[in-house]
């Protein structure tokens, strides 16, 4: 019974994180991009949402890791649980990197996009922003795909009773 409880908690917390990532990418961002016409305002809102998603992900990831650690006590679950822990730790690390390194660099480029500078200054700001946005998209996508993998592994991991059977 304890095994099932921790399985459900782990899978649900990962699903919550992945669902929030999907909601941002496939629902919020396209709608907000169509409504918020000021680039600086859109950038601030997006940066704040990405930071909130990182906080949510870190909390969900920590809970999922704790559940996987409990599940790893079973010899038949150990390998799968340790693999999930590694995947989740990578997800948290990537999300933190995006939130603490990439997003601030994107924010720093925004004033150059809207500041009414010269054409070369605006083009340079666009190029900086584009590079950071592409990096952010790749990191975000990696977290999302790893999250799908971790959720599937968590929900489908079964104890190998042959390994844990003792005579």
Q: DSSP for 28-65, please give it.
A: IHHHHHHH---HHHHHHHHHHHHHHHHHHHHHHHHHHH
Residue 142, C-beta contacts closer than 8 angstroms, at least 6 positions apart? 94
For the chain, the domain total comes to 1
Residue 162 lies in a domain: no
* pLDDT at residue 102 greater than cutoff 90: yes
Residue 16 lies in a domain: yes
Mean per-residue pLDDT over the chain, rounded: 91
Helix (H) or strand (E) holding 85: helix 78-97
Residue 64 lies in a domain: yes
User: For 94, what's the count of Cα atoms within 13 Å in the CB-facing half-sphere?
Assistant: 20
Tell me the two tokens of residue 121: 């200054």
Residue 165 lies in a domain: no
**What is the rounded radius of gyration, in angstroms, for the C-alpha atoms of the chain?**
20
- Which DSSP letter does residue 101 get? I
Residue 167 lies in a domain: no
* pLDDT at residue 53 greater than cutoff 60: yes
Residue 159 lies in a domain: no
- The domain in which residue 33 lies consists of 2-153
* pLDDT at residue 16 greater than cutoff 70: yes
Nearest to 51 by CA among 15, 108, 96: 96
The pLDDT > 70 percentage for the chain reads 95
Nearest to 129 by CA among 50, 47, 21, 55: 47
Average pLDDT over residues 78-103: 97
Residue 138, C-beta contacts closer than 8 angstroms, at least 6 positions apart? none
Residue 149 lies in a domain: yes
The pLDDT > 90 percentage for the chain reads 69
Nearest to 107 by CA among 120, 125, 81, 91: 125
Residue 14 lies in a domain: yes
């Amino acid at each position: 019974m304890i095994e099932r409880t921790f399985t459900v908690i782990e899978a649900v917390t990962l699903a919550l994180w992945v669902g929030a990532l999907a909601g941002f990418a496939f629902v919020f961002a396209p709608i907000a991009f169509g409504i918020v016409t000021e680039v600086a305002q859109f950038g601030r809102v997006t940066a704040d949402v990405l930071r909130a998603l990182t906080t949510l992900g870190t909390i969900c990831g920590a809970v999922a890791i704790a559940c996987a650690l409990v599940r790893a006590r079973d010899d038949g679950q150990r390998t799968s649980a340790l693999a999930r822990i590694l995947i989740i730790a990578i997800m948290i690390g990537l999300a933190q990197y995006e939130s603490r390194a990439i997003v601030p660099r994107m924010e720093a480029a925004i004033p150059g996009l809207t500041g009414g500078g010269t054409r070369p200054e605006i083009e340079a700001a666009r190029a900086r922003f584009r590079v950071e946005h592409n990096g952010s998209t790749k990191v975000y996508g990696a977290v999302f795909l790893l999250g799908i993998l971790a959720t599937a592994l968590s929900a489908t991991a079964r104890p190998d009773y042959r390994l844990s059977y003792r005579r």
